[in-house]
Amino acid sequence: MAISGYLSEFSLPEIFRLLEQGNKTGRLSIQERSEIPAHKGKIFRIWFKQGKIIAAGDRIDGHGLLSMIQNRGWVSSRVASRITEVCAFDQPAGLCLKEQGLLEAEQLKLLFSQQVLQQVCKLFELQDGQFQFETKVIAPVSELTGLAAPPSEVTLAGLRALRDWTMLSDKLPEPASGLISTIVGKPQLRLNQLECQVWEFTNGDVPIQHIAKQLKLPLDKIQQVAFRLMTMGLVEEVPFVNTEIPSQKQDLEMPISGSSGNSNSSPSNAFLLSLLGHLKNKV
């Protein structure tokens, strides 16, 4: 089964979340948009196993990982060229080299970070592109370190490092919306200081624009943090309705129904504008 579309329709965080929640196994190919219409854009491939990312690369020959190892001077080109001869048929190259005593566990972690975290995080900067996920595609063992990472963790790292939010601007929560937690207790993910601060407002009773004022930070910065928490499945955006109870003095000053043509019993302008703004965004 193949899933395809454009990043202008489905963002990379949304795609990752879908594949993680579905425990999908296969290959996600992302072709960036070329500035020259006659030329095809570069294709980047990410391999998944049971919902986790196990490898990534942009080389067709499947030698991206081995090239990284050689560039670091950890193995010679002769050893790299014989990797398929000394390893088991379905054994990840990284684990094979570790068993041979050529790589250490920490070196594998560094390789996986460079191969997956660094390369995939750059994809969040794409202004547009076409994606396709195919289930009947086996990851080449030469690209496997033997390690894996949940797409949610990769997404969080990518969004934290993102500088240009143009492609995700229409995905950000509304300034007048609130945030409500979707989980019981505190998040298991390791949140940074700002994410923890925004998390404290996930009771749905404070608009995002007020959170920004209280934290004395730009509104778009708080919207981006809120989007990260939403993408992780930790919170949901909810329309904020001000249900402030009138004071006793205000009650006494309210005209009796029928005594005036302008009755204060109708909804306030602030409430109507907030509701109409929310409905407009959902249409």
> Helix H segments across 90-148?
93-99, 105-112, 119-123
Q: Strand 2-6: give its sheet, edge to edge.
A: 2-6, 129-134, 26-32, 43-49, 52-57
Per-position pLDDT tens, the chain of length 283: 578 999 988 899 999 999 999 999 999 999 987 666 666 788 999 999 999 999 999 988 888 999 999 999 998 888 877 777 778 778 999 999 999 899 999 999 999 999 998 899 889 888 788 999 999 898 999 999 999 999 999 999 999 999 999 888 989 999 999 999 999 988 888 899 999 999 999 998 999 999 999 999 999 999 999 999 999 999 999 987 554 444 444 444 444 444 444 444 444 444 444 444 444 444 4
Q: Which two tokens stand for residue 169?
A: 């601007």
Q: Residues 123-140: pLDDT tens digits?
A: 988 878 899 999 989 899
pLDDT of residue 191: 92
pTM above 0.85, yes or no: no
Residue 234 is assigned to a structural domain of this protein: no
- Give domain status of residue 203, yes or no: no
Task: Tell me, yes or no, whether 81 lies in a domain.
Answer: yes
Residue found by looking up tokens 């030469």 in the block: 142
Task: Please indicate, yes or no, if residue 186 is contained in any of the structural domains.
Answer: no
- CA 251, CA 149: separation in Å to the nearest integer? 58
What integer pLDDT is reported at residue 242 of this predicted model?
54
In a domain, 40, yes or no: yes
**Residue 260 within a domain:** no
Q: Name every residue whose Cβ is closer than 8 Å to that of residue 116 and which is 6 or more positions away in sequence.
A: 46, 53, 55, 56, 149, 154
Query: What is the C-alpha separation between 53 and 146, in angstroms, rounded?
Result: 11
Residue 52: domain span: 2-167
| pLDDT given for residue 39 in this prediction | 64
Predicted pLDDT of residue 241: 59
Alpha-carbon torsion 44, 45, 51, 53, what sign?
negative
pLDDT of residue 30: 95
Domain contains 116: yes
State the pLDDT at residue 85.
Answer: 77
In this prediction, residue 251 carries a pLDDT of 43
Specify the pLDDT at position 24.
95
Number of domains forming the structure of the chain: 1
Separation of first and last alpha carbons in the chain: 31
Nearest to 119 by CA among 77, 147, 157: 157
- Residue 208 sits at the vertex; the CA angle it makes with 205 and 214, to the nearest 5 degrees, is 90
User: Checking DSSP bridges between strand 2-6 and strand 235-239, what pairing results, if any?
Assistant: unpaired
Which amino acid belongs to residue 90?
Answer: D
Alpha helix stretches (DSSP H) within the chain: 12-21, 64-71, 77-81, 83-86, 93-99, 105-112, 119-123, 151-161, 193-199, 208-215, 219-231, 248-253, 269-282
Q: Does a structural domain hold residue 18?
A: yes
User: In this structure, which amino acid lies at residue 204?
Assistant: G
